[in-house]
Each structure stands twice: as structure tokens, then as C-alpha cells.
Amino acid sequence: MQAAFSPVHPKVPGRNQSSFSDRTKRKGAVAYLVGNNLCCRETLSTLLAELEVEVVGLSSAREYLEHPGADDSACLILDLPLPDMSGIELQRQIAATTQLPIIFVSGACDVPSSVQAMKAGALDFFTHPFDLPALIVAIQTALVQDRKQRQRRAELAKLRERFSLLTPREREVLPLVVSGLLNKQAASVLGISEVTLQIHRSQVMRKMQAESLAELVRMAVRLRIPYWRDGKVRSCTGSTISLFTDQSESRSLTLSGLR
């Protein structure tokens, strides 16, 4: 059985504060508490302040949706009943635009709602009386997860920016190169000379800032660049994008969605 929560405790019961992960300590991290019945707000603010995490209390879904987003990592601690909509409905709206980790805290044990929330991607679901140390750990996990997701999105945005610098021909060369075709083979597919292919290949490496072919392959995977196999250009899911029925004919390779 979970330990009852007492809001008068300034520290987490039975938990050494030094055991908290240093990865959570990052200026700008925010835990949003949305709901009128979250009695733990004051205590959480005290505990999370030691981890350099700001607690922002908001009473309704509308207040949260209108609140400026955090620049660094963040998570949402959400009550089920809200004045303007249910926590489940707010979760659904958030999921359409962001991947912010959500932790539910409910005053009553609502099994159908908890199942629905978890299936929709909630990180955890707590009911009163709940285990405060477990909630703190869940918040830490959510903040670390969100920080990693933000970092991945930022890295992907950089890759897309580099990809946008490629010319149409260089975008045709890229999937052939990362598929392992030799320069001679790739040049034959595109109907250009091997020297011209090498020039385009070097430009692709330079613009994508790839130091090796292996690194370029990893970039292509993250960008979901179609690859060449058995005379076909296939998407990352395996569907065919273009087909060359006559390898002797010089043809231009057009990659759908990449121009």
C-alpha cells in the first residue's frame, strides 16, 4: 500500500536528498501543476526547489494552454477534474502538438480514466493518498525524458536545415550513396559521369557536415531518406517510391517529398 501523503513534511520521508539525480538539476526546468485539488503544490515546490525545478501552479486547462512554454525541460502534473475540461481531454489536446511528459494525480481511484490516460501516453498515474517519493522520482524521470526529447528535436532540426541546402541533384545522389552503391553504379543510375557523381558526393558530405559515410548514413536514417535497393528507391518503411525498369536509359531520380 502506498504511504499516505502529509503536506507538513518539508522533506521526502525516508529518502536521502543527495540520492536525487544531478541530471534533474538544470536551470529553467519546470513542473506544471494543473488543477484546483492538488494539495501537494506547496510541498512539491519546496522539494523541487532543491533540485532547481520551478513549480508553476495553474487552475485550469485554459490557463495552461495560454501559459508560455518552458525553454528547458518541463513536465505536466495533471488532475483529472478541471473547471473547463477533463484532464484526459487536455492530455489529448497536448498530444496533438507536443510530447510533453504527463503525470496524473487524482483524488479518487478511477480505473477507466487511469487506463485511458496510460494508453494515451501518460508517464504515471497517482491516486490519493500517494507515495510522495515515488512522485518525485516520476517527476525527475519526466524532466530527463523531456530534455532528451528536446535535444533530439533540436538535432533533427539542424539536420533538416543542412538537408535544405542540398541542390535537387545532390538530393538524388544522397540515397544512392548511403545505400552503399559504388560511385560508378550511382553515376550509371543517374546517367552522369563518375567524376560528376564524385563532385556531388563531396558536396553532400560537406553540406551535411558528415565526417564519414557511416555518419552520413545515420543522418539519412534520422531524416528518413529513401534508400536504393534492387533497382528501386524505397522509403524507410519499405514502400517503393521510384522504379527504374531500364538501367541502360539515363534517367533523373526524383524523390517524393524531399524537394
Q: Domains of the chain, with CATH numbers?
A: 17-153 (3.40.50.2300), 165-243 (1.10.10.10)
Cell of 73: 525541460
Closest residue by Cα to residue 84 from 66, 101, 103: 66
Cell of 154: 533540436
42-56, 86-100, 211-225, 229-243: least confidently modelled range: 229-243
The CB-side HSE value for 39 (13 A sphere, CA atoms) comes to: 13
- The percentage of the chain sitting over the pLDDT mark of 70, rounded to a whole number, equals 74
Residue 170 CB partners (closer than 8 Å, separation 6+) = 200, 203, 204, 207
Average pLDDT of the segment spanning 223-243: 59
Among 85-94, 103-112, 149-158, 240-249, name the most confident range: 149-158
Question: What global pTM score does this model have?
Answer: 0.69
pLDDT of residue 79: 86
pLDDT of residue 47: 82
Angle at 122 between CA 111 and CA 31, to 5 degrees: 120
Which residue, chain included where needed, has cell 539515363?
250
Long-range contacts of 233-242 (CB under 8 A, 24+ apart): 233/175
How do residues 37-94 score in pLDDT, each as one tens digit? Answer: 555 677 788 888 888 888 888 888 899 998 887 777 899 998 888 888 888 999 998 8
Instruction: Give the 3-state secondary structure of residue 122.
Output: coil
Residue 131 CB partners (closer than 8 Å, separation 6+) = 2, 3, 5
Cell of 160: 533538416
Put the strands of the sheet holding 53-58 in their side by side order. 53-58, 29-34, 74-78, 102-106, 124-127
Is the confidence at residue 205, as pLDDT, over 60?
yes
pLDDT of residue 161: 97
> What distance in Å separates the CA atoms of residue 235 and residue 239, rounded to the nearest whole number?
5
